[in-house]
Structure 1
Amino acid sequence: MKTTAKRGRPRKFDEDLTLDRIMQVFWKNGYSATSLDDIAEATGLNRPSIYAAFGGKKAMFLKVIERFADQMEEHLRKAGQQVSGLKPRLKAIMSAAIDLYTGRTEISAAPFGCLAISTLPPVAATDQEFQAVLQQVNRRMDLGFADLIRGETKGALPETQVTNTAQHLSLVLHGLSVRARSGEDADSLRELAKDAVEKLVPDIA
């Protein structure tokens, strides 16, 4: 008499930890150059398990971008809370971003720059969903800087100046990301960031 083989129990794994491993693959290779085999190797999971937990490649990438944006925001927020005053807080935030971009945080141990800025632009030109996500990332960065400037200056600056300064600071972060990924050392990037803050942000009595 035949006996029916028992199915193995579903493999249990930490989804956040697995998503972080997937993040590292996309961060290093970019979206287009990352294969499902790369993701399977990095996570130790087979394709059905990956699909069941995270969906297809595009869905995984979008989840990774969202997770990174949340992690980066929290990382920069904590850095900005360690000091007081607008310029010191902005410099602390820039320094924390450089730590992240050069692989000196728990988020990443490799100098890959900013995940969003490193990986989204090449695919945003041909995919409207990726373009919208990149715009959202940029807007989130602009708003974060604007809120900080607005809160510290307490109405001393016109709103147009607050907005423009915030956008310029975001541009500085984008440039730091590119330079970090190209291999520029953290100390040089910190000097550039400090100088940018001094030039972009007015002294408020």
Structure 2
Amino acid sequence: MKTESKRGRPRKFDEDVTLDRIMLVFWQHGYAATSLDQIAEATGLNRPSLYAAFGSKKDMYLKVISRFADQMQAYLHEAGQSTSGLKPKLKAIMAAAIDLYCGKSSFCNAAYGCLAISTLTTEVADDPDFKTMMEHIVQRMDQGFTDLIRAETTGTVPEASVRFAAQHLSLILHGLSVRARAGESRAALQELAEVAVDRLAPEPASDSVV
């Protein structure tokens, strides 16, 4: 009686490392301009192996966008924890984002801006899945700033003002990403970010009674 052989071969690659390599290809070239041959070359995997592990090109792209969003959130949260006070926290977050956008972080060594803002925005008009992902990215960023401002102002700022400031700070990050990819210097971006924080961060209401 023959012993049934096991189908397939065990994967001999780290999926997270491979996704990060795929991420860099999309980050540099964008979704539409990225070919499967480029992804195969960057990862050292052939097309059947890529399909088996990650699905279609679209599946790969959505996976790396989601992975980037998780990593970005953790990265910016850590930056905000490095100091105290609303404005210092916001400035630390902006500085960390600028480092990433300018290729001065462990994510990427090139000034590609934000992966989502640089590449996903060009695809949303033609694909509802990409549009949904972009909406999720924006809402997540808005919520992150909202939660931080609310926590640091301890309920002394009206909710409408908290959300207004959070949305505008998200807009600043989006703009910084575009300008970084266009080649603007880190110093110029840092100055823009600091002025924006000074103007947009709401001041907690005074507890003193006159």
1:44-77: CA deviation from partner (whole Å, max 9, x where unpaired): 1000110011000000000000000011111100
1:42–1:158 CA distance, 2 compared to 1 (3 A): same
* d(CA) in 2 for partners of 1:170, 1:91: 13
* d(CA) in 2 for partners of 1:8, 1:93: 45
* d(CA) in 1 for partners of 2:164, 2:126: 28
SS class of match (1:122): coil
RMSD over aligned Cα, in angstroms?
A: 1.3
Shift of 1:187: 1.1
Structure 2 match to 1:25 = 25
* d(CA) in 2 for partners of 1:11, 1:169: 43
Shift of 1:9: 4.8
Spell out the pairing of 1:28-177 with structure 2 (5 A cutoff): 28-177=28-177
List, as ranges, runs of 4+ consecutive aligned residues in structure 1 with deviation greater than 6 Å: none
SS class of match (1:83): coil
Shift of 1:185: 1.0
Shift of 1:8: 9.2
Structure 2 match to 1:12 = 12
Structure 2 match to 1:3 = none
Number of aligned positions between the proteins = 199
Runs of 5+ consecutive residues of structure 1 not aligned to the other structure: 1-6
Query: Retained in 1: the 8 A contact 2:100–2:108?
Result: yes
1:202–1:35 CA distance, 2 compared to 1 (3 A): same
* TM-score, structure 1 normalization: 0.94
* d(CA) in 1 for partners of 2:179, 2:165: 21
* d(CA) in 2 for partners of 1:84, 1:173: 21
Query: Retained in 1: the 8 A contact 2:162–2:202?
Result: no
Partner amino acid, structure 1, of 2:140: R
Query: Retained in 1: the 8 A contact 2:153–2:203?
Result: no
Shift of 1:11: 4.8
* d(CA) in 2 for partners of 1:9, 1:109: 34
Shift of 1:202: 2.6
Partner amino acid, structure 2, of 1:139: Q
Shift of 1:109: 1.0
SS class of match (1:123): coil
Structure 1 match to 2:188 = 188
* TM-score, structure 2 normalization: 0.92
Query: Retained in 1: the 8 A contact 2:165–2:202?
Result: no
Q: Percent of aligned positions with the same letter in both sequences? A: 64
1:122-142: CA deviation from partner (whole Å, max 9, x where unpaired): 110111110010000000000
